[in-house]
């Protein structure tokens, strides 16, 4: 059986729609009939630079929501016809998001309750995984996850640089579920009310000069042991490092440009938000196990989304907008 997919035909070639086989689910996998695809900045970087692609033609993309079409051996918690959000994998065309039918690991998939649209649900996978791994992954922030203990960080402060982005909104919400009493986010101030509704206690104008952002943060808290820089430009990393307390950790989403001096007790690490890496898997499966309930009871709210017209072909328009930094406070998605 054949379907349509959006391919990168060869290194740095333009995206192109073409036919692909519909894959069969293996052990522990489900086949999802894709309804909505969330578009991530990584995917324009994959086309432009060839990063995290080992074989061409390549089907990339990370985030889908749709309907379970078929379950593989050993899958007992999903049945055909259920609404789900699922994370794709790297370097496997069968597990790429930019197609009509995608394979996903069942333990990293969540049922989507009827109060959430599939468009909104397609914003969940990468955002939730990146927030989860950066904060709770044993190789990264190594904090106690709310799936182990709710409100473990009462009385403590966290800074989230880039609170209105896809990773940012989930980081704010997981920080709230972790009980942080002070959750400081930087963003454009038009998002202040929205970010406070998710759990931010303070929103600082991200367009202020660096020294003023640092001053604003330190006037709120002088004891920040965890900074999540979802943007990770050199300027934002400098802010994060300047306010990080002794023994603290800075999570970056792209390469770390700050360096601890000899004897510094603080650490910085570029998170690689792949939930299938063995040390990350337990913390991610525990979170995915809770996502349905959190969506139902409002503990977790998906990104605001904007549907870009054009189906698979519309993804290219969305990627161009992300590349040009023309996306603010929404996740771009396409529907099939
Ligand atoms: N390492 C990994 O595994 C991993 C995983 C996921 C993402 N990433 C990377 O993480 C980055 C963020 O991804 P994303 O999906 O969250 O991006 P996104 O949703 O496209 O980010 C858009 C947001 O960035 C905010 N922003 C831009 N410059 C800012 C600054 N200087 N300070 C504060 N906020 C700023 C904007 O805020 P305002 O509109 O409020 O101005 C906008 O809402 C990307 O580079 C992506 O490739 C890495």
Q: Give the pLDDT mean for 92-109.
A: 98
Per-residue confidence at 63, pLDDT binned at 50, 70, 90? very high
Residues with Cβ within 8 Å of 260's Cβ and at least 6 positions away in sequence, in order, are 266, 267, 268
Indicate the burial class of 110 (C-beta count within 10 angstroms; 0-12, 13-18, 19 or more).
buried
The pLDDT of residue 1 is 78
Radius of gyration over every alpha carbon of the chain, rounded to an integer in angstroms: 19
The pLDDT of residue 130 is 98
% of the chain at pLDDT higher than 70: 100
For domain 128-270, the question of CATH label 3.40.50.720 is answered with yes
The pLDDT of residue 293 is 98
Beta carbon of 126 within 6 Å of any ligand 1 atom: yes
- Residue with the smallest CA separation from ligand 1 atom 29 is 162
Beta carbon of 25 within 6 Å of any ligand 1 atom: no
Residue 45 CA, closest ligand 1 atom number: 47
- Residue with the smallest CA separation from ligand 1 atom 34 is 162
Report whether pLDDT(21) > 90: yes
Report whether pLDDT(90) > 90: yes
pLDDT in tens, 220-239: 999 999 999 999 999 999 99
Q: Give the pLDDT mean for 114-137.
A: 98
Per-residue confidence at 155, pLDDT binned at 50, 70, 90? very high
- Residue with the smallest CA separation from ligand 1 atom 6 is 130
CA distances from 127 to 1, 28, 146, 219, 257 (A): 32, 23, 17, 29, 22
- The CATH number fitting domain 2-123+302-335, selected from 1.10.620.20, 3.90.180.10, 3.55.50.30, 3.30.70.660: 3.90.180.10
Contact 11, 50 (CB under 8 A): yes
Mutate to test the pocket of ligand 1, among 37, 61, 162, 304 (most ligand atoms within 8 A of CB): 162
Measured CA to CA, the distance from residue 118 to residue 25 in angstroms comes to: 21
The domain ranges of the chain are 2-123+302-335, 128-270
Instruction: Find, among 11, 14, 32, 12, the residue nearest to 22 by Cα.
Output: 32
The pLDDT of residue 300 is 98
Instruction: Find, among 306, 329, 335, 333, the residue nearest to 166 by Cα.
Output: 329
The pLDDT of residue 263 is 96
The pLDDT of residue 173 is 98
Mutate to test the pocket of ligand 1, among 168, 302, 333 (most ligand atoms within 8 A of CB): 168
Residue linked to tokens 């197609």 = 99
Q: Give the pLDDT mean for 84-107.
A: 97
Residue 191 CA, closest ligand 1 atom number: 40
Coil vs helix vs strand at 277: coil
Average pLDDT, the chain: 97
Report whether pLDDT(185) > 90: yes
Coil vs helix vs strand at 45: helix
Contact 251, 140 (CB under 8 A): yes
Report whether pLDDT(141) > 90: yes
Using alpha carbons only, give the angle 123, 64, 12 rounded to the nearest 5 degrees.
95
Instruction: Find, among 35, 31, 42, the residue nearest to 109 by Cα.
Output: 31
Beta carbon of 84 within 6 Å of any ligand 1 atom: no
Q: How far does the centroid of ligand 1 lie from the alpha carbon of residue 94, in Å? A: 27
Q: How far does the centroid of ligand 1 lie from the alpha carbon of residue 292, in Å? A: 25
Q: How far does the centroid of ligand 1 lie from the alpha carbon of residue 163, in Å? A: 8
Beta carbon of 253 within 6 Å of any ligand 1 atom: yes
Q: Tell how strand 157-161 and strand 224-229 pair up.
A: parallel
Residue 126 CA, closest ligand 1 atom number: 6
């Amino acid at each position: 059986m054949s379907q349509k997919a959006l391919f990168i035909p060869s290194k740095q070639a333009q995206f192109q729609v073409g036919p692909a086989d519909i894959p069969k689910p293996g052990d522990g996998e489900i086949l999802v009939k894709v309804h909505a695809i969330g578009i991530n900045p990584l995917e324009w970087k994959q086309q432009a630079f060839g990063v995290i692609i080992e074989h061409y033609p390549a089907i990339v993309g990370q985030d889908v929501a749709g309907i379970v079409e078929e379950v593989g051996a050993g899958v007992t918690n999903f049945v055909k016809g259920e609404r789900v959000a699922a994370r794709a994998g790297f370097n496997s065309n069968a597990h790429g998001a930019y197609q009509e039918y995608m394979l996903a690991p069942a333990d990293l998939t969540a049922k989507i309750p009827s109060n959430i649209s599939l468009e909104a649900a397609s914003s969940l996978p990468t955002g939730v995984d990146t927030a989860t791994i950066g904060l709770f992954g044993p190789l990264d922030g190594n904090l106690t996850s709310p799936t182990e203990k709710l409100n473990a960080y009462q009385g403590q402060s966290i800074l989230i640089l880039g609170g209105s982005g896809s990773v940012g909104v989930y980081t704010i919400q997981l920080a709230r579920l972790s009980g942080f009493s002070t959750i400081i986010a930087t963003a454009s101030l038009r998002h202040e009310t929205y970010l406070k509704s998710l759990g931010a206690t303070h929103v600082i104008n991200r367009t202020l000069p660096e020294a003023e952002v640092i001053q604003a943060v330190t006037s709120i808290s002088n004891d920040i042991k965890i900074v999540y820089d979802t943007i990770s430009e050199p300027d934002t990393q400098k802010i994060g490092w300047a306010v990080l307390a002794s023994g603290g950790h800075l999570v970056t989403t792209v390469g770390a440009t700050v360096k601890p001096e000899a004897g510094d007790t603080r650490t910085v690490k570029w998170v690689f938000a792949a939930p299938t890496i063995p040390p990350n898997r337990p913390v991610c499966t525990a979170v995915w196990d809770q996502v349905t309930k959190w969506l139902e009871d409002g503990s977790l709210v998906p990104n605001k989304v904007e549907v870009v017209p054009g189906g698979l072909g519309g993804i290219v328009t969305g990627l161009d907008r992300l590349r040009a930094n023309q996306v603010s406070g929404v996740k771009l998605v396409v529907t099939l």
